[in-house]
Amino acid sequence: MSSTPDKISVLFCCLGNICRSPMAEAAFTHVITTSPPHIQSRFTLIDSCGTASYHTGSSPDSRTVSELRRNGITTTHRARQVRDSDFHEFDYILAMDEMNLRDLEARKRRGKRAEEGKARVMLFGEFGEGKREIVEDPYYGGEDGFRRNFEQVTRMSKRFVREVLGEEV
């Protein structure tokens, strides 16, 4: 009798869902799809959202798209706001900063049955340096902020796999 490992779903969340979280989604997806098949098969759903609805339906910021392309990654993501159902659908909801985390926790508390959801809401930086690393919003800055974000989310994605699955990628 063989046991099938649990499947894992991950949702990344920032403020507007056009810079950090779509970059994290794309980088994480790239880490997973370039991993061995036994790791790929563990992930069922990878997505991203924002706590606010400012950019719903928009493509990621052009600087996010450029940084992803520079690293050989493409994205077709469209911005969306977090939904109550996300707390039931995803195993992990990973916030980019403390404000995103507070907003997600508040949404989970006041959402219709969201508090009963399975999602573990946490800071993505729990998988970073020092366990509380923040992925700063690069929106009002230059290209360097987007490069830094890509380095962070890629490193954190690999550490997530290492800590959650016990596998190096």
Token pair of 19 as six digits: 């810079």
Which listed residue (13, 20, 47, 63) is catalytic? 20
Which listed residue (14, 61, 97, 107) is catalytic? 14
Which listed residue (47, 86, 97, 137) is catalytic? 137
pTM, two decimals, is 0.95
Q: Is 32 helix (H, G, I), strand (E, B) or coil?
A: helix
End-to-end CA distance of the chain: 28
Q: Is 14 a catalytic residue?
A: yes
The one-letter code for the residue type at 156 is M
pLDDT in tens, the chain (169 residues): 456 679 999 999 999 999 999 999 999 999 999 999 999 999 999 999 999 999 999 999 999 999 999 999 999 999 999 999 999 999 999 999 999 999 999 998 887 666 678 999 999 999 998 888 999 999 999 999 999 999 999 999 999 999 999 999 9
Report the CATH number of the 8-165 domain: 3.40.50.2300
| DSSP annotation string for 99-167 | HHHHHHHHHHHHSTTGGGS--EEEEGGGGSGGG-------TTS-HHHHHHHHHHHHHHHHHHHHHHH--
Q: Is 107 a catalytic residue?
A: no
Q: Is 61 a catalytic residue?
A: no
